[in-house]
Amino acid sequence: MKKVGIIGVGEYLPKKVLTNADLEKMVDTSDEWITTRTGIKERHLAAKDEAASDLAIKAGQSALEDAKLKGEDLDLIIIATISPDMQTPATACIVQNALGAKKAICFDISAACAGFVYALTVAQQFIARGSCKNALVIGTEILSSITDWKDRNTCVLFGDGAGAAILSEVKSGGIIASYLGGNGSIYDILMVPAGGSKMPVSQETLDKRLHFLTMRGNELFKIAVKAMHDAACVVLERAGLKAEDVDLVIPHQANVRIIMAVAKKLGFTEDKIYLNIEKCGNMSSASTATALCEAVKEGKIKKGDIVLLDAFGAGLVWGACVIKW
């Protein structure tokens, strides 16, 4: 099996910024409530003419430049998203065309906030077994398109963006261990009820606002802490490492209180946790992807560092991986 590592990263955040003060004018909320309960101050929102693929293409181009590769060098494109351009075709096909990645296999993965970790792990298998050389993995979301802007329980949480990584064979280090998991028994804790084959679009589903994300946030909070803690423990054990060996943790950015509760249980100090939730909110699959990109660009990840990615989301699904940079 070949060693597989990340050789380039990129991100794109839409220009428009929605602050907590803006939200105060839209629903019955306050900057104080949002900040203390979630750690979020602002989030980026896509323009009306921007689709998930547009964000992904920009993040992908940036990652290709970082890796000094061209679209034609790609053998595989995996897009992690729960807000694809359309039900079919896969958003990966639209990205493939825009990047001129003519020989790339392309498909999407729906694993919500764990999507980027799921996609990295799948891409790793293709390269490790020698069936692909270079893969582009992107987490891209326009959650604003499935957010109910009249529901204060959810609309303060989400944002739009895309983060990308290029995976290729590396001589040393790379992805040392991964762990993916799921539990569909409580799938309805976080979902978009209508718009699929179970409940196709109708006037009734539109009237009942069933095309938006619904969430039992309070229940999810406790489950998220346990799932992210357990995923980190399993993947560290698989990597033969301890928490103190980790240089930087890139957690899914759902809620700063969830992240810090997980960090405390694992024994990580705050300086080992990378956060971009304050300026981006929860961007589902794009959260870990953009946080990883930003940490690299800010010089917070150096050659030889041990990086832990740890994510959890709707499904329920979770995933973690340990990367030696």
- What residues make contact with ligand ACO under the rule CB under 6 A? 29, 33, 37-38, 112-113, 152-153, 156, 190, 217-218, 220-221, 224, 254-255, 258, 282, 284, 313-314
Q: Taking the complex as a whole, how short is the minimal distance between the CB of residue 230 and ligand ACO, in angstroms?
A: 15
Select 96 or 144, whichever has its Cβ closest to ligand ACO. Answer: 144
Q: Is 97 a catalytic residue?
A: no
Measured from the CB of residue 184, what is the shortest distance to ligand ACO in angstroms? 14
CB of 252 to ligand ACO, least distance (A): 7
Amino acid making up residue 80: A
Which residue bears the tokens 């006037």?
203
233 is catalytic: no
Residue closer to ligand ACO, measured from CB, 28 or 271:
28
Closest CA to 146 of 234, 85, 65, 68: 85
Q: Minimal distance in Å, beta carbon 38 to ligand ACO?
A: 5
Interatomic CA distance for residues 285 and 171, integer angstroms: 28
The H-or-E segment that residue 34 falls in is helix 31-38
Integer Cα distance of 277 and 50 in angstroms: 22
For 96, other C-beta atoms within 10 Å of its C-beta total 25
Among the listed residues 93, 252, 255, 293, the single catalytic one is 252
Distance CA 321, CA 311 (A): 9
Question: Is 35 or 97 the residue whose CB approaches ligand ACO more closely?
Answer: 35
User: In the bound complex, which residue of the shown chain has the CB atom lying closest to ligand ACO?
Assistant: 217
Between residues 107 and 221, which has the closer beta carbon with respect to ligand ACO?
A: 221
Smallest distance from ligand ACO to CB 127, Å: 27
- Residues 175/123, Cβ–Cβ less than 8 Å: no
Catalytic pick from 93, 106, 113, 293?
A: 113
DSSP of 274-321: ---HHHH-B-THHHHHHHHHHHHHTT-S-TT-EEEEEEEETTTEEEEE
The residue among 33 and 107 lying less far from ligand ACO, judged by its C-beta, is 33
Closest CA to 211 of 297, 87, 95: 87
Q: Catalytic annotation on 229? A: no
Q: Which residues are catalytic?
A: 113, 252, 282
